[in-house]
Amino acid sequence: ENVKTKHPQLLYESKLYRILQGGTGIPNLRWFGVEGDYNVLVIDLLGPSLEDLFNFCSRKLSLKSVLMLADQMINRVEFFHSKAFLHRDIKPDNFLMGLGRRANQVYIIDYGLAKKYRDSSTHQHIPYRENKNLTGTARYASMNTHLGIEQSRRDDLESLGFVLMYFLRGSLPWQGLKAGTKKQKYEKISEKKVSTSIEALCRGYPTEFASYFHYCRSLRFDDKPDYAYLKRIFRDLFIREGFQFDYVFDWTILKYQQSQLTNPPARALGLGAGTSSPLPPAIANADRHTAAEDTRAAGLSSMDSSRRRASGPLMSSGNYAKQKSPVANDH
């Protein structure tokens, strides 16, 4: 960002990176300083965002992929909260996949709108306030955020719920609303959000998603959420559906299919008698080391890919370099 910018954020964000360093799915802060006319923040090179991958998968994700993501995303939000900060801009663009061995690990980025919600020494929670301006992204903002209520831990989790439904449904009911000004657009989004019941939003999808929202909305302003409960309802659904926690996401398969089209197996070219597998070896092998774990729920307690073997390379390009704005946006 330009050193003369009206609302500098990178220094604040670099401090957040330092506080969060070492957490699973937190990029390493490589350097922060001034270079010419710019404040510069350097973090690890990461892979595509979940918004990129959602587009790559034709803007719909399978239940299996969404549940594998949900577990890691709840963990990221929980870690953020454990350091006494709210993220306040939970959206698909702010979750990135790693690269190489970390290709199946979800990272959380963009801490420019984060806010401390409790005092480090006294542990006193910030006070309840109203008439607050919308901070974050209107599409994923919680209902209380639209109503002008100070954000707390419950709001990050409600926003995450909207992200999960966006992935499953392909869109949210308050997308694409036309209005003259940004303010009018936020009002329209707010009206539509308030008038859309949880049941209507989650209709046609497993009841666990409605349960997730009901739980988030049952929390009082300063309540500590039961993150383990939220992970558990999704893990139980995952097991009941008979899914394998093998890190084979929709884009993993799609990427592999595309690579097969551009590089057909040798046998198809008549160059040898090698066998062609319907999935890359790393993916085919992923089932082997999970067989024992799949027989018990405990095996799912270490869903974070930092503790599990990566299941093969996927989109290996893409980096994180963007300008951030402290004002709300709608997408």
Residue 190 Cα distances to 165, 175, 185, 214, 314, angstroms: 17, 11, 8, 18, 37
pLDDT for residue 62:
99
DSSP state of 219: S
Q: Which parts of the chain have pLDDT scores under 70?
A: 265-331
DSSP state of 111: -
Q: How many CA atoms are closer than 13 Å to the CA of 141, on its beta-carbon side?
A: 33
How far apart, in whole angstroms, are the C-alpha atoms of residue 138 and residue 136?
Answer: 6
Amino acid identity, position 227: Y
Catalytic residue selected from 71, 89, 155, 330: 89
pLDDT for residue 293:
34
| 57 CB-near residues (< 8 Å, 6+ apart) | 65, 250, 251, 254
Is 110 catalytic? The answer is no
- State both tokens at 140: 């994923």
Q: What is the CATH number of domain 49-331?
A: 1.10.510.10
Q: What is the pLDDT of residues 219-263, one digit of tens each?
A: 999 999 999 999 999 999 999 999 999 999 999 999 989 888 888
pLDDT for residue 265:
67
pLDDT for residue 264:
74
pLDDT for residue 55:
98
The whole model's pTM is what? 0.82
Return the domain boundaries, the chain: 10-43, 49-331
pLDDT for residue 331:
56
How far apart, in whole angstroms, are the C-alpha atoms of residue 245 and residue 300?
Answer: 8
How far apart, in whole angstroms, are the C-alpha atoms of residue 178 and residue 189?
Answer: 10
Q: What is the pLDDT of residues 80-105, one digit of tens each?
A: 999 999 999 999 999 999 999 999 99
pLDDT for residue 288:
36
